[in-house]
């Protein structure tokens, strides 16, 4: 927010404080000022002059010899090459000895033999920002209005004796997007009063308005309109143009300039329509209709949807509410009657409309952050005052209004405040009277209610709703430098990590040791990215919780699954010439417990992992695509270190390949999934063959043993027996190992079993496969005999034969 120091000084007495000191004061009070820039870029000795006579240079076709009256008692002869120079125009005249921006000094000179005593100046030569000027004023001389007094210093005429403060506002301080809000803020910081009017008084005709207003959408709670006649598209006065330019706004004409001026002054955006273009003299605030289009003021045809709020008449849309007006109701040279609009539009709706259409305006910025309801009518009346004063406008009837925000609750709120609690929180003994004065300086009303105060907060401060907000106001106005540093008091306990933190630290170390990289992604996403997961209608993962104030259309809901988040990281890396990688994230997914939402959602913490692209070349292996077993190996190393025994079962989830994925379970409870990403899902995220795995943190904590069991190393040698069994191809090897584990619970000497080969081909029936198993035996107190190991081997064979129709391979 750029703001004029001189404009602020009209409402707060700043004679005792310089612009730089004011910037320091605002910064110390929580409103950081990024810079203070003088409007005068080094102009001295430049005055208003009028070209009295002009003739061609005798020796140069493109030069003119001008006789200029600059209020010096005699005409000055100045040679000028500007194409728009002519007798009768008033322009800035740099006298001999004058200085211009860039340390340029004007001296007497001879141009092609003709003496020149000064220089006629363009806008850029006197330091004006030509980006904010009309095209006619950016080339050639800068033409001054006819009422400019000859001989007057141009710094005074163009109000260049000013400073611009660039205030970096935090998102919660929308009240300071106006001179009004900053005036109250500065007055509070300086301990003085502001003269900014609380209300605008204007006598309106005692007659109904020529226009009618209808609210047909819940997204507009207040709409006021006033009709003015005898108003045309003429330039605004120079002082207003210069003030707008100081704030970074381009002057257009008196009608548009007044609406912009009042927006900067009051913080309330306004818009002006050509009254003659409004059908049936009726304004309708409604949602856009399917397939409706509107050509906006920038000349672009916009395709609207039903989520967009529009201003319309009974026939057509004439503007995008809070964003931009329509070309079909634009003020033109033939305009004689205008309708001035002042309204409160829904902030999220305004933001979404601007984002969808790629539009951004000063008005939209203010509507997005919320409008002060007390400023709606006052800003409209203030604009009417200025149009009457500056353009001779004539009011036609009273204010046409429609509203849903009736009631005092919309204009102020009462917040409870405890002075003693404030002192405890700040660690500073601030007297009650000082706190009461600080609130009064802010324009707050304080009512005593015993030990507590009732602080009445005006509607211009929407950021204050809690006692903590009032405590913050006391702290910053009292001065952070005046609050002493104090040590917190209370019992001191030895810091220790809880079970969850210890588990996540183990997981992080295990995965990083395997060469994986930890990433952090947004918990915000959009519903569209979940279409790739192949979820059926009504699936719980489709029930995403929307954000009240999304940062963008791509970040408008809370995620329900981690795959899209990691897929975004993988796609970004692959598109930036990274061959592949292995990544993981500790993230939260948010699941609604009921729909519509009535209670807090469930936050499910997940360890999500992804392997994408290819393994890089190394001394030990050539580049290859990551596969299922890379993920399975990482998971087994991870859960083994946690002391958790897991089993793998065939998974049936839509986002994983049906034949190359598995559900991970422990003690009959599913704790996660691992598998190759379904080809259609991978294609939607611009990925080739990729592998995804996830583990539920809560389930891991439940399955992790409370204490580790330590066993001595065996004193007696173990033994191994190998079996080759023929089974049907559909039999899962994991199920065979589970069955063997049941046998080991009966025979303690069977310590473990593993698969070291699976074969299908020549010598084996087409519908069968050969599974080679290694059985490991051992005992703590003796050497095993062949007979007792053979007994266990036969039990294993019998169990597998009974369960899977397995038989020894010949």
Write out pLDDT tens, residues 692-713: 999 999 999 999 887 777 778 8
CATH code of the domain covering residue 593: 3.30.930.10
Q: Which pLDDT does position 594 carry in this prediction?
A: 82
Binding residues: 463, 469, 472-473
Statement to judge: residues 217 and 318 lie in one domain: yes
Domain presence at residue 393: yes
Statement to judge: residues 151 and 229 lie in one domain: no
Strands, E, within 489-621: which ranges?
A: 517-518, 524-525, 557-558, 580-591, 602-615
Domains held by the chain: number: 6
Statement to judge: residues 9 and 77 lie in one domain: no
Confidence of residue 293 (pLDDT cuts 50, 70, 90): very high
Which residue, of 406, 435, 460, is where some domain finishes?
406
Which residue, of 457, 482, 507, is where some domain finishes?
482
Domain presence at residue 787: yes
Terminal CA-to-CA distance of the chain, rounded, Å? 86
One-character DSSP codes across 384-420: HHHHHHHH--EEEEEEEEEES--SGGGTEEEEEE-HH
Q: Which pLDDT does position 486 carry in this prediction?
A: 78
Q: Residue 746 above 50 pLDDT?
A: yes
CA 228 to chain centre: 39
Instruction: Give this prediction's pTM.
Output: 0.66
Statement to judge: residues 72 and 139 lie in one domain: yes
Given a contact cutoff of 8 angstroms between Cβ atoms, the answer to whether 182 and 167 are in contact is: yes
| Mean pLDDT along residues 753-759 | 93
Sign of the dihedral through C-alpha 39, 41, 42, 44? negative
Q: Would you give the DSSP letter of residue 94?
A: E
Q: Which pLDDT does position 407 carry in this prediction?
A: 57
Residue 372 burial (C-beta neighbours within 10 Å; 0-12, 13-18, 19+): buried
Statement to judge: residues 323 and 235 lie in one domain: yes
CATH code of the domain covering residue 762: 3.30.70.380
Residue 681 burial (C-beta neighbours within 10 Å; 0-12, 13-18, 19+): buried
One-character DSSP codes across 54-70: EEEETTEEEEEEEEEE-
Which residue, of 349, 380, 406, is where some domain finishes?
406
CA distance 585 to 610: 9
Going by their DSSP bridges, the two strands 580-591 and 517-518 should be labelled as parallel
| Mean pLDDT along residues 220-245 | 91
What angle, 0 to 180 degrees and rounded to 10, lies between the N-to-C axes of helices 254-266 and 238-246? 50
Write out pLDDT tens, residues 315-373: 999 999 999 999 999 988 888 899 999 999 999 999 999 999 988 888 998 998 888 99
Confidence of residue 405 (pLDDT cuts 50, 70, 90): low
CATH code of the domain covering residue 27: 3.30.56.10
Instruction: Please state, for a pLDDT cut of 90, what percent of the chain lies above it.
Output: 72
Statement to judge: residues 539 and 677 lie in one domain: yes
Statement to judge: residues 631 and 645 lie in one domain: yes
Q: Which two tokens stand for residue 385?
A: 């005052």
Given a contact cutoff of 8 angstroms between Cβ atoms, the answer to whether 244 and 257 are in contact is: yes
- Give the residue among 671, 694, 670, 692 at the shortest CA–CA distance from 606: 694
CA distance 796 to 738: 11
Going by their DSSP bridges, the two strands 44-57 and 90-100 should be labelled as antiparallel
Statement to judge: residues 229 and 316 lie in one domain: yes
* Total count of residues recorded for the chain: 810
Measured at the alpha carbon of residue 73, what is the angle toward residues 70 and 74, in degrees to the nearest 5?
75
Given a contact cutoff of 8 angstroms between Cβ atoms, the answer to whether 40 and 160 are in contact is: yes
- Give the residue among 216, 226, 208, 210 at the shortest CA–CA distance from 314: 216
Domain presence at residue 230: yes
Write out pLDDT tens, residues 158-174: 999 999 999 998 888 88
Domain presence at residue 115: yes
Domain presence at residue 494: no
Write out pLDDT tens, residues 570-583: 999 999 999 999 99
- Helix (H) / strand (E) containing 533: none
Of the ranges 125-134, 145-154, 585-594, 709-718, which one carries the lowest mean pLDDT score? Answer: 709-718
Binding residues for Mg(2+): 463, 469, 472-473
Statement to judge: residues 430 and 311 lie in one domain: no
Statement to judge: residues 503 and 447 lie in one domain: no
Q: Which two tokens stand for residue 765?
A: 């029936």
Going by their DSSP bridges, the two strands 807-808 and 324-325 should be labelled as unpaired
- Give the residue among 132, 137, 134, 108 at the shortest CA–CA distance from 121: 137
Domain presence at residue 544: yes
Instruction: Output phi, psi for 284, to 5 deg.
Output: -120, 125
Q: Which two tokens stand for residue 520?
A: 């952090």
Q: Which pLDDT does position 408 carry in this prediction?
A: 44
CA distance 447 to 456: 8
Side-chain-side CA neighbours of 397 within 13 Å: the count stands at: 16
Q: Which pLDDT does position 711 carry in this prediction?
A: 78
Statement to judge: residues 35 and 48 lie in one domain: no
Domain presence at residue 531: yes
Give me the helices (H) in 301-431, please: 347-357, 362-369, 373-391, 419-426
- Give the residue among 362, 169, 402, 161 at the shortest CA–CA distance from 265: 362
Statement to judge: residues 441 and 428 lie in one domain: yes
Domain span at residue 144? 44-157
């Amino acid at each position: 927010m750029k703001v004029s120091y001189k404009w602020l000084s009209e409402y707060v007495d700043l004679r005792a404080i310089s612009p730089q000191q004011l910037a320091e004061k605002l910064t110390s009070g929580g409103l950081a000022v990024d810079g203070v820039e003088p409007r005068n870029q080094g102009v001295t000795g430049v005055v208003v002059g009028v070209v009295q006579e002009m003739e061609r240079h005798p020796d140069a076709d493109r030069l003119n010899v001008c006789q200029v009256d600059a209020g010096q008692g005699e005409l000055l002869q100045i040679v000028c090459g500007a194409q728009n120079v002519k007798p009768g125009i008033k322009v800035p005249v740099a006298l001999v000895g004058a200085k211009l921006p860039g340390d340029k000094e004007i001296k007497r000179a001879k141009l092609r033999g003709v003496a020149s005593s000064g220089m006629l100046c363009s806008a850029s030569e006197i330091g004006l920002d030509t980006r904010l000027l009309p095209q006619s004023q950016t080339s050639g001389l800068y033409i001054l209005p006819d009422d400019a007094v000859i001989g007057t210093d141009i710094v005074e005429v163009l109000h260049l004796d000013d400073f611009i403060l660039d205030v970096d506002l935090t998102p919660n301080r929308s009240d300071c997007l106006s001179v009004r809000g900053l005036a109250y803020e500065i007055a509070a910081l300086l301990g003085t009063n502001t003269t900014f009017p609380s209300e605008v008084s204007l006598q309106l005709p005692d007659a109904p308005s020529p226009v009618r207003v209808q609210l047909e959408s819940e997204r507009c709670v207040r709409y006021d309109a006033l009709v003015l006649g005898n108003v045309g598209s003429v330039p605004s006065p120079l002082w207003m143009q210069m003030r707008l330019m100081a704030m970074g706004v381009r002057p257009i004409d008196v009608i548009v300039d007044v609406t912009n001026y009042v927006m900067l002054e009051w913080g309330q955006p306004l818009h002006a329509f050509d009254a003659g273009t409004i059908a049936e003299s009726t304004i309708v605030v409604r949602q856009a209709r399917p397939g409706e289009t509107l050509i906006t003021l920038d000349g672009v045809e916009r395709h609207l949807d039903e989520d967009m709020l529009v201003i319309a008449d009974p026939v057509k849309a004439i503007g995008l509410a809070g964003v931009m007006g329509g070309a079909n109701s634009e003020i033109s040279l033939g305009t004689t009657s205008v309708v001035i609009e002042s309204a409160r539009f829904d902030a999220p709706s305004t933001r979404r409309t601007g984002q969808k259409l790629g539009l951004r305006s000063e008005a939209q910025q203010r509507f997005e952050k919320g409008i002060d309801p007390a400023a709606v009518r006052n800003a409209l009346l203030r604009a009417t005052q200025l149009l009457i004063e500056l353009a001779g406008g004539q009011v036609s009837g009273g204010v046409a209004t429609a509203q849903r925000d009736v009631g005092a609750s919309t204009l102020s709120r009462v917040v409870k405040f405890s002075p003693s609690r404030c002192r405890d929180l700040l660690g500073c003994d601030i007297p009650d009277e000082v706190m009461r004065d600080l609130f009064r300086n802010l324009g707050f009303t304080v009512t005593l209610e015993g030990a507590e105060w009732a602080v009445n907060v005006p509607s211009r401060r929407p950021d204050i709703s809690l006692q903590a907000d009032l405590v913050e106001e006391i702290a910053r106005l009292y001065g952070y430098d005046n609050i002493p540093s104090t040590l917190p008091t209370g019992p001191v306990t030895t810091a220790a990590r809880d079970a969850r933190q210890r588990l996540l630290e183990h997981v992080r170390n295990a995965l990083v040791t395997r060469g994986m990289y930890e990433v952090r992604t947004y918990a915000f996403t959009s519903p569209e990215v979940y279409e790739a997961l192949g979820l059926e209608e009504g699936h719980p993962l489709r029930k995403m919780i929307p954000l009240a104030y999304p940062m963008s259309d791509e970040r408008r809901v809370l995620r329900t699954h981690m795959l899209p988040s990691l897929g975004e990281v993988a796609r970004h890396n692959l598109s930036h010439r990274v061959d592949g990688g292995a990544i993981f994230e500790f993230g939260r997914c948010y699941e609604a417990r009921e729909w519509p939402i009535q209670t807090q959602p469930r936050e499910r913490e997940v360890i999500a992992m992804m392997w994408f692209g290819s393994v890089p070349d190394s001394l030990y292996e050539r580049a290859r695509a990551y596969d299922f077993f890379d993920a399975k190996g990482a998971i087994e190393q991870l859960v083994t270190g946690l002391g958790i025994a897991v089993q793998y079962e065939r998974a049936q989830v839509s986002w994983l390949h049906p034949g190359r994925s598995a559900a991970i379970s422990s003690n009959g409870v599913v704790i996660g999934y691992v598998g190759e990403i379904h080809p259609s899902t991978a294609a939607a995220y611009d990925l080739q063959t990729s592998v995804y795995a996830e583990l539920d943190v809560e389930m891991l904590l439940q399955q992790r043993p409370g204490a580790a069991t330590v066993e001595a190393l065996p004193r007696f040698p173990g033994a191994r027996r190998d079996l080759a069994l023929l089974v049907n191809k559909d039999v899962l090897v994991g199920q065979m190992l589970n069955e063997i584990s049941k046998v080991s619970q009966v025979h303690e000497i069977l310590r473990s079993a593993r698969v070291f080969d699976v074969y299908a081909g020549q010598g084996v029936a087409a519908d069968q496969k050969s599974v080679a198993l290694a059985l490991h035996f051992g005992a703590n107190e003796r050497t095993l005999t062949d007979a007792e190991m053979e007994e266990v081997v036969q039990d294993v064979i019998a169990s597998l034969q009974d369960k899977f129709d397995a038989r020894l391979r010949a």
